[in-house]
Each structure stands twice: as C-alpha cells, then as structure tokens.
Structure 1
C-alpha cells in the first residue's frame, strides 16, 4: 500500500526562504497580519486532513468508482467520500481563502494552494469535488449580481453546496463556438435552457444538498461563434426567496463516463431539459466570464499533477531504499546481503531525481503564481496589480501544460522504479499514472495551452509580458553573475534567456507569413519557456541553499542536509533536464512544412 507525508518543509522553504511571502503580505492590508506561525498551523492541520482522511480513500475510491441510479439520476460516490467531505466542511477548509463578506476566512491564495497540493497528492478524484467549487465561486464573485452573490456565494464558501462548469458538448470540446445549448428568455427574467453537456467533472454526486452548475448556452438572437455565448447559473435544486431549496430543476445526469483514471470522481453526461437558469454577466459575453473559472481550473490542474508527482516520488524513493536487486557496477555495496539496494543504480537515481526536480520546481512556480494572484487581488498599488495580472496570464498555460507533462513523465518514471510491482494495483503506482494522464487533456489540452502561450500571451503583445519575466531573470543573472558557486546555474539560464528572445523573434516573423508556423512550433516553444521558468526558480533555490550552507560552515556547524539535497537536485536539473531545450529549439525552428505538406501520408 502507498503512503504519503505532506512536504511541509519544502513548502515553507519556497514560501518563506525563496518567495518571502510574509514580507509581501505586509504590503497588502488584508493579509498584513498573516505570519509564519499562522501559515504553519494551517498547513500542519491541512496536511493531517489530507494524510489521514482523504488519502486512505484513494485506492478504494478508484476500485469502487461512482454509481448512477438511472431511475433517479442520482450518483453515489465511493464509500467514505461523503463522510470525508463532511469533515472537510466541518473543519472550515472550503472557506480558507474565501471573501469574509460571504463567510470566508480571507487567507491568502498561496496558503490555499499549498493545502490543495496536499489534497491532490492524497486523492485527486475526491479533491475535484470541492476544487471545482473554487472556480465557480471566483466566477460569480467577479461577474455575479449582488443578488446572485448573496444567494450562492455563502453556500459555496461554506462548502454546503458545490459548483461545476458545463462547457463541453458531444460535438464540440475546445471549439466552444460550435456550442448548441439554447437559452430562451422567460417572462420572470429567467431562461429556459435546453441541451446536452459531456465530461462534466463532479457533475452529479451525493456529497451536498445542491450543485450549482455554470452553463454556457446561446440566446435566440446570438451571433454565431464564440461571440454569441452567454453564461447561466443553473442549480440542481431551485433556490427560493428565503434561501431554502425548492423544486428539482430540469438538469440531470444521464450517464457516467467510463474512464482510464479518476474513477472516484463522477464525470457526468448532463441533460438540460428546459432547466431554469439565470444570466451571469452580460448577454453574449459568457465566455469572458467563464474564463475566470477556466483560468482558476487550469492552475488547479497543474496542482493536480504536482500533487501526483510528489506522492509518486515519495513512494518510489521508499521502495528504492528497501528493494535489493543486482550489484553496483563499481562493486558490491552491501556485502552482507545477496544483492544491493536498487538505489546504487544510476538510472534508478535518474528517475527519482527527475520526479523530485519536477515536483520541487513545480511547487516553486505554482506558489509564485498564487502569490501573484494575491497581489493582483489585494495589493493597493494599481501598477503592482496590473503587473501581477500580466505575469499570471503568461504563466498560467505553463503551469497547466508544463507541470502536467512533467507529471506524466515523473509518475511513469516512478512506476518504472518499482519494476513489475509498479504495474500491480496494490502498490498504487499505476493509479498515479492513470490519474495523471487526464491532466494533460482537460481544461484545454496542452496543445491549446501552447497555442495560447505563443499565439496570444507572447506574440499577441509582441513579447512585452515575456520581457517582464525576462527582467526577473536578468536581475538574478546580474546579482549572481560573478559568483563562481552559482555559475553552473546562472550561465545556462542566461544563455537560454538570450536564445528565447531570438527564437521568439524568429517565430514571430514566420507567423506573419504563415499562421501554421505557430501551430507547428507552439508545443516545443512552451516546453522551452517552461524550462526557462523552472531554471529561474531552481537558480533561486540554489542561491538560498548555497547561502545557508555557507552560513553553517562559517559557524563551524554541519550543513543542513535539506540544503545539500536542494543543491544536488538543482545540479541534476541543470545537467540532465534543462538541456532538453537545445533539441526543443531546433524542432521548433523546423517549421510547418514537414507537418502540413503530408497529404500523401494520410491519403
């Protein structure tokens, strides 16, 4: 059976030693009193909840799955899921970063992000039920009317109700311009909504009394394409004027998808049969409103793969420590045993270090983005808010695509460490691999994220936002450029920064002549950008580790093994993973011709 230990030490390292979040909070009045002790207490309890309440349900939930009663359209979640959710609500966890005006605790997003990483490590399928609610909350908090906020936000904040987003239809996924669901205005100001949705995560379940669906649909006079989409609140049960639940609405689950992974989460086929809904925001502006939820979900999906990478690494490392097989190539290391532990083998260490480097790099990036969101929402300086928003927009597709791609690589590598045992269900590794696979697909496939990054976020403003991140890289290079101990991290980072600028310029010129050049280069480009970002954070983490090791040595004390491990992992990352960028830049430059002039291949 797998185990899980919350990585609290590394979370504190990133927050307090690298990002110095409490210093940042002092500039935000609403968070100025949040200190290290407060954060530590919350994360310690959050880690216990993940480790003791939801993690034990991960394998059983995967085995049991969800069950739909076709006669009632009700879904029963796996044994223990509902009770775990009740404990989650009882502990006040849904309200952690919510607005105090609606019952939230008002804590920083960065704290909530740490909690959700632990929940995702413990049980991704379970975590999706409350996780999607955060997106629904943010959407209504930004675009809802005062009446809508008063009706729905307190219940979503407390966790008494959960939320979903209903976008995908059988004939259209990412291309929402093809959407057919209809919304007909009614005399009372509501809308009658009819259509079919698929792949709706947590679309039906038994854990709460009401589910608030946010549904994209078309008004009768809506223009064609994505500019004619509106957003509606469609609750499972109608809400009366006094806030109590009324009649069952005409929205129900017609089927559950049979999936490769995340079996414990109900991925529903939803039918809207004249369901009553209410417009959110302006008519035909629904996609912009929904993007608030979609962007929150994209960062959340990155956190899912981060969580899986961490738990897979922990279990693979534990197995590698205990498993004996073969002898070291340089001679037996444990002569009292018939074989050496598999940790003596270089390739086993490579697989483990790959997972560790991707987990710790992903954690640094994710928490940095969460801090940027805190600045965007709460900093009193408008320019700081604007700069933070621009950087979040740039980094969101990298969080979603790069971390999930890495999560697939890392969980597969960790499964490989187990050898044949990794393919057996009882060890839990094959579930981590299966669960990780969906993260590269939903909330916009990773190709869509790559097109968004290169086409919109970079070329769309002539690289202005990319240059802002480049300035951060440049500041670090200038600060440490003459430090010989940092050379192995700073030099390759500086070189890639320059190469990235040249690559972006080249692709921009090509795109003016042929838009397919963007599509041909985008996926490789995003991975280069991902390594630039990871390289920046790994250099910063190495910077802190070197200073702490030097400080200990100056006092005649042994260095903390934590910092030694951090430095060794940074060296591995720059030596073994970062060089992937050379190949990626070459393939990104290879152009669209070898892809598009291939009709004979597919004839």
Structure 2
C-alpha cells in the first residue's frame, strides 16, 4: 500500500485551526503560500523517500553487531536526502542553520514522515527534542558546538532517561557523573529503551543523558543533564557503546538500544542546564516529544485509513442488504464498513486538529503569549494520550476492514497496528499523562487556564451534543479540582476525564472546520468534494464520538473504592 500525503486536509487545518495568519501576525515569517509549499514538498518527499522503505524496515529491521547498529538497505540514502532537503531545519533557530518557521510546520513534516515510515521518523523526532533542550538550556558555547549539525541532521540526537531499575520513576536512576576537574564530567552507567541510540545514518550521535553528581540530593531533585556525544567535539571516540537492541512488537527499523556509558572509565560529558537542573531540561525535551508522539497517532491513523479505504473500494463481496438484485458489491457499500471508514476519518481528523492547534499555541507562547503557553501546557497530555489512543483504535479498525486479510502481514494493516502500539507507552505512559492532567494541568493559574478554554468552547459551540459535553466536562473538572475529592479518586477517574476533555476540544475544532467548509462551499470556493466530505466527517464526529465521551462521566466520577476493595493477591486468584 502506497502513501499519499493528505495535502488538502493539512492545508485546511493549518488555515482554519492552527491559524497561519495569526502566527504571521505574531512575528513568524510564514504565509499561507509558504505553508502550502512546505506541505506539498514534504508530502512528496515522504511518499517518495520514506514510504518505500516501510516494508523492508519492518521485515529486515535494524541489526546489531559488536561494531554497532546498521540500518536496512536504502535508509542511509533516504536519510541523506532528508538532510539535503532541509526538512529538519523547518522550525529550528535561524542562528544555527534553521528556517525559523513555526513549530506547527515542523509538526506537518513529522506527521508525513511518520505516516510514510513511523519507525524511521523516530530518528528526526528525537533530534528535535535534543535541539529544544540545547536551545533553551545550553550555554552559547554548547549551542555553537552542537546545534548547527543537529539542526541540519548531519548529526542526530537522543534522550537517555530510563534505567533498568527505574522505569518511569526517573528519580531512581543511578548513572553517575564525576567531575574531571576541567569543567567536564566522567559518566558511568547504563540506559535502556534508547531510541536510535546507535545507527549508521550519521557520523555522530549527541546523547543527552540524565545522571547524578556526587552528593546530589535523592530523587528527582538530584538529577542533572549531560551532553555525551558518541564522538567528542575534537573528533575522538567517546566511551559510549550500544550493547544490544530490543526485539519488539513493531517499529523494527527503530533501534531501541541498551546503552553503556563509561565501561572503560573514559566517557566524557558536559553539564547542560546547571547542577541538579536535569528535570527542568528533561521536560523541555519531553514536552516536545509528547506533542510529536501524539502526532504519531495521527500519522498511523492516516496511513491505516488510506489503506482501509483502498481495500474497501477494491474488495467485492456480497450484495448490499436491502438493495435490489443479488449482485456482489465493493465492501465500501456495506453500512458497517462505511461506519468504520467514517469513524476512522473522523478520529484521525479530530486528533490532527487537536495536535496542530496545540502546536500553534506553543508557537504563540514562544512569542511571549502567556495565555497560549498555559493552554499549550494544558493540551499537551491530551495530544499525547488521546492522539495515540486514536492511532491504536484506527489501526485496529483498519485490520477489521481488511477482514481476514488484515491479519495477514502482506497487506500491511497488521504492521500499522503493531507499530503504533508503543506510542501510548513511551514518552510517559498515557496513564501518566492523565495523572499529570488532574494533578497539575487542571490547576494551572489557579484553574484559570481550564476556565478560559471551557469559556472559549462554550462561546463558539453550536452543536447540541457538543454543548452538552462541554457542560458535562465543566462539572466533572469541578469535582476533580475540589480539594475534598481524594487523590485516589481523582487518579482513578483521570483517564476517562482526559478522553472526555480531548474529545470536547477536538469536537470544538471539528465544528469550526465544518463551519469553514460550509461557508467556502456556499461561496463556490475550494474543492467541492473535499469540502463536502470535511463537513460530513465533522458532523459524524458530533453525532457519534462526542456523545460517547459524555458517557464517560460515570467512569470519571466512580472513585477508587472498588479498585482497592480486594488485596493485591486477589488479582492473581484463578
């Protein structure tokens, strides 16, 4: 199955949801024409260079040897084309070779790369996180040394956070950083689950590594961040080694590495972000990565939907119920298949709208808009969690539309399902995102961030279902933010609340698009077929997905009593 970038859809969302004109007014050197050129260019690039490697990436995958990790044939040439095309420079700082475009335009790039080849797209995605950390926390000298080649993609970057005994509990890490005496540090420890921790696509890999200084405070307060390159700035090899790669359910072309630092006591790093300032710097990387992982849900949902639609239009089976005659028809004519396809499109477009909107809010925040920054912070866990849940659901529906052939690897439907399943887990599990939402984000600015969002949605919404969901959401969040509500009860209801809130915001943005599509259609502007389908998809979202989210109220408010009604051992009982 080939990939075709959803160019008209992406342009439409950039205009009517992200607000390219508003970003230009905020000081970005961007216009609708420029945005269109980027969308068209990266769509063609992703389809032409990354997509043809998706199958070989899955079947051959990254390979480990004592000399390092090698990628399948074709990947190095495609990555070189990515670098030469400047696709990694879109939103990077102009002072270091970037184009200074809005972050939302880089999101379009990553969405297309991820849809074409999710495993491959993880390499530039991780580099983007390293660039963000250096941009916000690096010294001028560090930025001058590392950013130019990271920005172009000549070098790649990683995040090294997790350790075997720590998992998501970052405060339990044990990697050490001992001062050498010349301003550098000797790093010693092991990290696991390091995406693209080693490969043969670039000549250097810049690792950002969390470690503890001697006598550092316990827990997260005592964590620092270090720049630990595979090759030092002066050109000598550092004591950094990939000791193995994981054998995984999916994303086989993304080497998930176990990294050893300092086995020979000669791993040198430099501090970034100040002593014991690692968590602050880490969250700069993580917040960027969480938005981009949410986009992976959109990417796979788009690819799975395209594959399902193509199969449904080709596969002829059975007469349509209630139709005259008994002639077999393409399965796209059967009501349940049509329901699944429309649901796939509605979920994909809703998640895309939410992701683009959050990225645009982050762009406005970078220009000093405090309210936009707070809104971007509030929306980030929604993008990451709901976006990846959407990716999983849509990929599963894609298998279902294919029927028995969906369970056969050669159709590619199974690969989409396998590849996306990691997304709700890494960069902070979706349960952690929900806990973050109720534990921190609902209370931003004393609750004013949430109140402004609900007020904006309430003022603009017209659909009865959407208005009901907004009111339901308002009531549930009031319970969740009430100091009298036990912490266990808030956490027990956090996941359904997150889903409810994400659907409400996505529904608000889908209704906005429906109005724009209807307005343009009435004026005789734009592609009539695209606008008609956009309107139908938005109406389907309001009619089916929004009411489902209202049904989550009971789960969100159920409390934690039943969760702890039995001892731990009872869960293992036969």
**Would you say same fold, with TM above 0.5?**
yes
SS in 2 for 1:254: strand
CA distance in 2, matches of 1:103, 1:573: 41
Secondary structure of 1:261 counterpart: coil
Spell out, residue by residue over 1:508-549, the C-alpha distance to the aligned partner (whole angstroms, 9 max, x if none): 33x645211122011111001111111111110111122223
Selected match of 1:503 from 440, 456, 476? 476
Residue of structure 1 equivalent to 2:294: 302
Match of 1:167 in 2: 161
Residues 1:117 and 1:558: Cα distance change in structure 2 (over 3 Å): closer
In the superposition, the TM-score normalised over structure 1's length comes to: 0.92
- The reply on whether 1:466 has 2:434 as its aligned counterpart is no
Is 1:47 aligned with 2:31? no
Partner SS for 1:188:
coil
Larger deviation, residues 217-226 vs 591-600: 591-600
Residue number among 496, 505, 509 corresponding to 1:533 in the alignment: 505
Give 1:47 deviation, angstroms. 0.9
- Pairwise CA distance, 1:475: 2.6
Distance in 2, matches of 1:513 and 1:360, equals 35
Q: Which moved more, 1:543-552 or 1:346-355?
A: 543-552
Aligned to 1:58: 54
Say if 1:19 and 1:368, in contact at 8 Å, map to a contact too. Answer: yes
- Cα-to-partner distance string for 1:402-426 (whole Å, 9 max, x where unaligned): 0100110001001110011111111
Look up the match of 2:74.
Answer: 80
Aligned equivalent of 2:516: 544
1:413 and 2:404 equivalent? no
Residue of structure 1 equivalent to 2:5? 6
CA distance in 1: counterparts of 2:570 and 2:542, whole angstroms: 39
- In structure 2, what is the equivalent of residue 601 of structure 1? 570
Match of 1:585 among 549, 553, 574: 553
> Aligned partners of 1:559, 1:123: CA distance in 2, in Å?
29
Change (3 A) 1:18 1:66: closer
Question: 2:297 matched to 1:317?
Answer: no
Q: Distance in 2 between matches of 1:193 and 1:325?
A: 62
Structure 2 unaligned segments of length 5 or more: list them. none
Match of 2:370 among 372, 383, 386: 386
Contact 2:11 2:39 in 1 (8 A): no
Q: 1:29 aligns with which of 13, 27, 30?
A: 27
Counterpart check, 1:280 vs 2:249 = no
| CA offsets 1:431-470 (integer angstroms, 9 cap, x no match) | 0000010001000000000000111100465432111211
**Cα deviation digits, residues 15-69 of structure 1 (max 9, x gap):** 1244431x213323342xx222222222212111100111000011110011111
CA distance in 1, matches of 2:445, 2:250: 38
Find the aligned partners of 1:387 and 1:507 in 2 and give their Cα distance: 22
More off after superposition, 456-465 vs 142-151: 456-465
- Match in the other structure for 1:176: 170
What secondary structure is seen at the aligned counterpart in 2 of 1:497? helix
Of 459, 479, 491, which aligns to 1:475?
459
The answer for the alignment partner of 2:352 in structure 1 is 363
- 1:67 pairs, out of 44, 63, 66, with 63
1:133 corresponds in structure 2 to 127
Deviation at 1:339, TM superposition (A): 1.1
* RMSD value, Cα: 1.6
Alignment of 1:395-410 (within 5 A): 395-410=379-394
**Greater Cα offset, 411-420 or 462-471:** 462-471
Q: Is residue 167–residue 216 contact of structure 1 (8 Å, CA) maintained in 2? A: yes
1:431 aligns with 2:415: yes
TM-score, L = length of structure 2: 0.96
Matched residue of 1:284: which SS? coil
Which residue does 1:485 correspond to in 2?
none
Residue number in structure 2 paired with 1:562: 530
CA distance change for structure 1 residues 285 and 19 in 2, over 3 Å: closer, same or farther?
closer
| Distance change >3 Å, CA 598–CA 125, structure 1 → 2 | same
TM-aligned CA distance change 1:113 to 1:219, over 3 Å? same
8 A contact 2:493–2:555 mirrored in 1: yes
Instruction: Report the CA distance shift for 1:280/1:558 in structure 2 as closer, same or farther (over 3 A).
Output: closer
Task: Give, in angstroms, the shift of residue 390 of structure 1.
Answer: 0.5
SS in 2 for 1:95: coil
Alpha-carbon separation, structure 2, partners of 1:236 and 1:591: 49
Match of 1:208 in 2: 202
8 Å contact kept, 2:211–2:225: yes
Contact 1:214 1:232 in 2 (8 A): yes
Q: Distance in 1 between matches of 2:557 and 2:458?
A: 25
Asked if 2 retains the 8 angstrom alpha-carbon contact of 1:18 and 1:544, the reply is no
